[in-house]
Chain A
Amino acid sequence: MGVVEETEPPLKRAKLRAEEPNGNSSVIGSNTVTNSLGDLMARPLTSQGDVDETVGSKGVIKKSEFVRIITRALYSLGYGKTGAMLEEESGIPMHQSVVKEFLQQVKEGKWDESVVTLRRIGLVDEKAVKSASFLLLEQKFLELLKFEKIADALGTLRNEIVPLQINTKRVHELASSLISPSKFVSNGASGKGKGKESVSSRSKVLEELQNLLPASVMIPEKRLECLVENSLHIQRDSCVYHNTLDSDLSLFADHQCGKHQIPSQTIQILESHTDEVWFVEFSHNGKYLASSSKDQTAIIWEISADGHYSLKHKLVGHQKPVTSILWSPDDHQVLTCGAEEVIRRWDTDSGDCIHIYEKGGIGPISCGWYSDGQGIIAGMTDRSICMWDLDGTEMECWKGQRTQKVSEIAMTDDGKWLVSVCKGSVISLFDREATVERLIEEEDMITSFSLSNDNKYLLVNLINQEIHLWNIESDPKLVMRYKGHKRSRFLIRSCFGGYQQAFIASGSEDSQVYIWHRSTGKLILELPGHAGAVNCVSWSPTNLHMLASASDDGTIRIWGLDRINPQKKVQASSSNGVLHRCNGN
């Protein structure tokens, strides 16, 4: 078992090694690797130093392991020649030759030989050996059965499988299959040709062997890919201002979103309104933007291929300022709410008003869509909540014990909850099925709210210049507060946005757009530009890097990434390793 050049018997050397106080990793294993090297003469090698050799700056990657998984990856990618060449050039074979033999035998279906070779590999874990043997013999049995060699199959079962004394349930199943072989469904679909079936189930056997045998003996397929993916996930999860699509993650540099991944530059100003713009919202599919204004109109804007917005329809008809415009779940229609006037439903494609919803003597303060788009809900001036179906037939009207006009009302898009402001500082979450109500009691008067996409969180704007995030999955819990923006007179709206809605954006009376990091509550950006209070913001649901804001200055601003300085680095971190400087940087 000794290596050729050494003069001292290997065992003695091994002992010496162990006694050395600063000895590196154990030597014993190395002998089995170097044993099967093809060309001992060509390389002046297997000085013990080689085995302990590491790559990488931190000394944790063993060179032999590193090369072996690269070889594995090459074979997986289909570059067999390169894989073989790497094994030869590095002198580090991917698998021990006995393992290679074993795998080859399994592929060719030489089961008896494979069981013998399995023993030769010298696994320590007896259980694993037994399980693997079982697997091989089971496959042998099944193949014999397929070729209708029943006697041989029986023989295998009795003399080879049963003595293993494991997995008796499966043994019984196999036994019963002898009696009715046609009923027995083996791996793979039936009737696809015996040859092909055998091959596909053999590769399944290989897969299962991979799970049974230790990774150092049989390197798992896709091990390198798995390590790289783990690394990307860790980078992504530790990225504080992460606002990038998974498809944009790159292997070339550590991923770290700086603030430059958050929209911060005005890329377009939309000026078609003639008075204050009070509301703005992207459609669910991100293709349109809807805005409503004090000028008594609402506008539907359309995005072109180059990312530019243009006016598609101007919705004229209201006789009062339009306080909100809401997209139907399928984006084909919008609802507009005229302040204490009427609610109108419009078709997005034609721009025509399809229906007007009104009730004598009272007007709507707020409105919303049913989650299925088949009904309208509205909070009215007499403090009631009305529900119409699309034709205008009143379905329900709740004259509850509300002390304020219902300034905001919404139905979660799963249809489960009806959320509304029921008293100045209380929000009601009404479960439509169970007809029970949960309450969120706030510290001060509520001006508006918005729901997260997953219906689990509620963002509440308060009169005291704070925005609160509540978890409404079960008993409502206050999760975070966002501060910094200004509000003293107006109804200012805020919204969720960005990658997995990890950011909160809000308007402000100081004419700026404010953006916070949702989970930490930290204020990230203040965006100046508007010449009047910013009443409402909306973050595109499909474009992580696009934000729209509506202002008293009569304009809507579209915000995007900073194109002039795209790679503004937040801190001087090198591209390879977050905090450490490697790669010679």
Chain B
Amino acid sequence: MGRIFTVELEGRSYRCRFCRTHLALPDDLISKSFHCRRGKAYLFNRSVNISMGPLEERMMLSGMHTVADIFCCCCGQNVGWKYESAHEKAQKYKEGKFVLERGRIVDEIDLSTEVYIDTRSDTEDS
């Protein structure tokens, strides 16, 4: 386990439940109505700090897809999957997008104790 490289997301971000590594932004949230074996899941446009497992064909509720499991790059926990390709036309919109399981992520405002946090609203430039 070398020197892990992580990206930090600004503002309110969804994080890994186990190690609090940033995973995705609310801005990238597309749908909250996905499901996995363990419960609810969210579909995101983008996700960071994840590593991908091998591609495999999987039969989902919506049909056959080519997916890869994704893992938090810090703790290695399986946090969801990525859609590589969809076999049915109606499902094509999912391609290249990420699903994070609700049970594996936490949704909280960045509560770090770093000093700059209080002045952020002043210095923030979009």
Does B4 contact A491, Cβ atoms closer than 8 Å?
Answer: yes
Does B73 contact A488, Cβ atoms closer than 8 Å?
Answer: yes
Contact A489/B114 with A403-B10, A404-B7 known, Cβ cut-off 8 Å:
no
Q: Which of A320-342 contact B (CB under 8 A)?
A: 321, 323
Does B4 contact A401, Cβ atoms closer than 8 Å?
Answer: no
Does B1 contact A552, Cβ atoms closer than 8 Å?
Answer: yes
Is A405 close to B, CB under 8 A? yes
Of A276, A383, A491, the residue contacting B116 (CB under 8 A) is A383
Does A447 contact B5, Cβ atoms closer than 8 Å?
Answer: yes
Q: How far is the CA of A245 from the CA of B125 in the complex (A)?
A: 52
Is B51 close to A, CB under 8 A? yes
Q: How far is the CA of A445 from the CA of B22 in the complex (A)?
A: 15
CB-defined contacts of B8 to chain A, threshold 8 Å: 403-405
Q: How far is the CB of B86 from chain A (nearest CB, A)?
A: 23
Does B2 contact A278, Cβ atoms closer than 8 Å?
Answer: yes
Contact A276/B7 with A361-B115, A401-B125 known, Cβ cut-off 8 Å:
no
Does A399 contact B4, Cβ atoms closer than 8 Å?
Answer: no
Q: How far is the CA of A407 from the CA of B6 in the complex (A)?
A: 10
Q: How far is the CB of B57 from chain A (nearest CB, A)?
A: 22
Is B123 close to A, CB under 8 A? yes
Q: How far is the CA of A167 from the CA of B52 in the complex (A)?
A: 80
Q: How far is the CA of A535 from the CA of B5 in the complex (A)?
A: 11
Give the residue name and chain of the B residue nearest to A279 (CB). Answer: B3
Q: How far is the CA of A190 from the CA of B17 in the complex (A)?
A: 88
Does B51 contact A489, Cβ atoms closer than 8 Å?
Answer: yes
Is A398 close to B, CB under 8 A? no
CB-defined contacts of B51 to chain A, threshold 8 Å: 488-489
Q: How far is the CB of B37 from chain A (nearest CB, A)?
A: 25
Q: How far is the CA of A533 from the CA of B52 in the complex (A)?
A: 17
Q: How far is the CA of A323 from the CA of B4 in the complex (A)?
A: 11
CB-defined contacts of A404 to chain B, threshold 8 Å: 7-8
Q: How far is the CB of A111 from chain B (nearest CB, A)?
A: 79
Is A490 close to B, CB under 8 A? yes
CB-defined contacts of A256 to chain B, threshold 8 Å: none
Q: How far is the CA of A461 from the CA of B48 in the complex (A)?
A: 17
Q: Which of B3-30 contact A (CB under 8 A)?
A: 3-5, 7-8, 10
Does A552 contact B5, Cβ atoms closer than 8 Å?
Answer: no
Q: Encode B112-126 as 1/0 by CB contact (under 8 A) with A.
A: 001110000001010
The A contact surface, by secondary structure, is: loop
Q: Which of A381, A447, A489 has the most CB of B within 10 A?
A: A489
Q: How far is the CA of A533 from the CA of B51 in the complex (A)?
A: 15
Q: How far is the CA of A87 from the CA of B51 in the complex (A)?
A: 78
Does A382 contact B115, Cβ atoms closer than 8 Å?
Answer: yes
Q: How far is the CB of A537 from chain B (nearest CB, A)?
A: 13
Does A382 contact B123, Cβ atoms closer than 8 Å?
Answer: no
Q: How far is the CA of A447 from the CA of B48 in the complex (A)?
A: 13
Q: How far is the CB of A581 from chain B (nearest CB, A)?
A: 50
Of A381, A445, A489, A532, the residue contacting B4 (CB under 8 A) is A489
Q: How far is the CA of A361 from the CA of B51 in the complex (A)?
A: 31
Q: Which of A484-504 contact B (CB under 8 A)?
A: 488-492
Of B48, B114, B125, the residue contacting A382 (CB under 8 A) is B114
Contact A535/B3 with A488-B52, A488-B73 known, Cβ cut-off 8 Å:
yes
Q: How far is the CB of A400 from chain B (nearest CB, A)?
A: 9
Q: How far is the CA of A404 from the CA of B100 in the complex (A)?
A: 23
Of A401, A405, A407, A489, the residue contacting B123 (CB under 8 A) is A401
Is A424 close to B, CB under 8 A? yes
CB-defined contacts of B123 to chain A, threshold 8 Å: 399, 401
Q: How far is the CA of A535 from the CA of B114 in the complex (A)?
A: 29
Contact A491/B1 with A361-B115, A381-B114, A382-B116 known, Cβ cut-off 8 Å:
no
CB-defined contacts of A489 to chain B, threshold 8 Å: 2, 4-5, 51, 73
Q: Encode B93-115 as 1/0 by CB contact (under 8 A) with A.
A: 00000000000000000000011
Q: Encode A510-552 as 1/0 by CB contact (under 8 A) with B.
A: 0000000000000000000000110100000000000000001
Q: Which of A400-445 contact B (CB under 8 A)?
A: 401, 403-405, 407, 424, 445
Is A458 close to B, CB under 8 A? no
Contact A278/B3 with A401-B123, A405-B8, A488-B51 known, Cβ cut-off 8 Å:
yes
Is A463 close to B, CB under 8 A? yes
Q: Encode A378-407 as 1/0 by CB contact (under 8 A) with B.
A: 000111100000000000000101011101
CB-defined contacts of A463 to chain B, threshold 8 Å: 5, 7
Does B3 contact A491, Cβ atoms closer than 8 Å?
Answer: yes
Does A533 contact B115, Cβ atoms closer than 8 Å?
Answer: no
Give the residue name and chain of the B residue nearest to A276 (CB). Answer: B2
Q: How far is the CA of A451 from the CA of B52 in the complex (A)?
A: 31
Q: Encode A459-499 as 1/0 by CB contact (under 8 A) with B.
A: 00001000000000000000000000000111110000000
CB-defined contacts of B115 to chain A, threshold 8 Å: 361-362, 382
Give the residue name and chain of the B residue nearest to A509 (CB). Answer: B2
CB-defined contacts of A488 to chain B, threshold 8 Å: 51-52, 73
**Can you name 19 A-B pairs with beta carbons within 8 Å?**
A278-B3, A361-B115, A362-B114, A381-B114, A382-B114, A383-B116, A384-B116, A403-B10, A407-B5, A424-B7, A463-B5, A488-B52, A489-B51, A490-B5, A491-B2, A491-B3, A532-B2, A535-B3, A552-B2
Interface residues of A (CB under 8 A from B): 276, 278, 294, 321, 323, 361-362, 381-384, 399, 401, 403-405, 407, 424, 445, 447, 463, 488-492, 509, 532-533, 535, 552
Other than the known A533-B2, A552-B1, what 19 A-B pairs have Cβ atoms closer than 8 Å? Answer: A276-B1, A276-B3, A278-B2, A382-B115, A384-B116, A401-B123, A401-B125, A403-B8, A403-B10, A404-B7, A424-B7, A445-B7, A463-B5, A488-B51, A488-B73, A489-B2, A490-B2, A491-B2, A491-B5
Interface residues of B (CB under 8 A from A): 1-5, 7-8, 10, 48, 51-52, 73, 114-116, 123, 125
Which 7 pairs, one residue from A and one from B, show the smallest C-beta to C-beta distance? A490-B2, A491-B5, A488-B51, A489-B73, A491-B3, A278-B3, A535-B2
